[in-house]
Amino acid sequence: MRYLLCNGSPKGSTGNTARILDALAEGISSAPGQHIIRANLNRVQEHESVVSTLLESEVIIIAFPLYTDAMPGITMAFIEALRPHIDRFETHTFCFIVQSGFPERIHCEPVEKYLVRLTEILGAKYGGTLILGGGMMMNPKRFQIVNHIGARLSDTHIFDETCIKKATPLIRFPVVSRGIISLATKLPIAQSFWDSQLRANGAYEHRFDRPYESKG
């Protein structure tokens, strides 16, 4: 089986997405005869050549982090590069990994819906979306889940549904916790990192600007 593992993080090999794909690749390789190619989508000039590799692959995994509640622009650019090949994907299975800093599943669900629709538009088979909330780092439990999904992939060519459910069971924090978190984020300490970034970029005084607000 030929797999293409695409890393849609702007950080490429140094980011968290790369570690998740390492765990997946290790799981896939545990079965004999699997051929894995990896591509970093932050090399935008290589997108055309990755599309050619994709057309020769059978299972395509596109993994990306949530940046400002959406997929990174480089991932979107790669998806746009598939447009001229619509209807050449009947023999391809597309699986996705979406990981977010926030731990609740709900942040990734809108993009998950888009990915289901995207696969339909491409005319490919949908192999599932693995959502990993709280994705700031890899831990042993997460490694085990992703590794197991990889190991099962050679049999089923889709992501294991049970593992997907186990990966991020928290949909939303309970109401009480949401209230506490909302108060905590207003404390100066919670803002200190972002404030330091704003100051470092000379933007602190403009932090409440609304440049697109209608004047009329």
Ligand X SMILES: Cc1cc2nc3c(=O)[nH]c(=O)nc-3n(C[C@H](O)[C@H](O)[C@H](O)COP(=O)(O)O)c2cc1C
Q: Does 183 bind ligand X (CB under 6 A)?
A: no
Q: Which is nearer to ligand X, 65 or 150 (CB)?
A: 65
With respect to ligand X, which residue has the nearer C-beta, 41 or 60?
A: 41
Nearer CB in complex with ligand X: 6/122 = 6
Looking at residue 13, the DSSP 8-state letter turns out to be G
Residue 163's CB: how many other CB atoms inside 10 A?
18
Burial class (CB in 10 A: 0-12, 13-18, 19+), 118: middle
Residue of minimal CB distance from ligand X?
15
- Sheet of strand 59-65, all strands in order from the earlier edge strand to the far edge: 35-40, 2-7, 59-65, 93-99, 125-132
Angle at 159 between CA 123 and CA 68, to 5 degrees: 80
Looking at residues 14 to 33 of the shown chain, list those that interact with ligand X (rule: CB under 6 A). Answer: 15-17
Map residues 88-107 to x or -, x wherever contact with ligand X holds by CB under 6 A. -----------xxxx----x
Q: How far is the CB of 110 from ligand X (least distance, A)?
A: 11
Q: Which of 135, 145, 159, 160 is close enough to bind ligand X by CB under 6 A?
A: 135
Q: Which of 201, 210, 8, 11 is nearest to 95 (CA)?
A: 8
In the complex, which residues of this chain contact ligand X (CB under 6 A)?
9, 11, 15-17, 65-69, 99-102, 107, 135-136
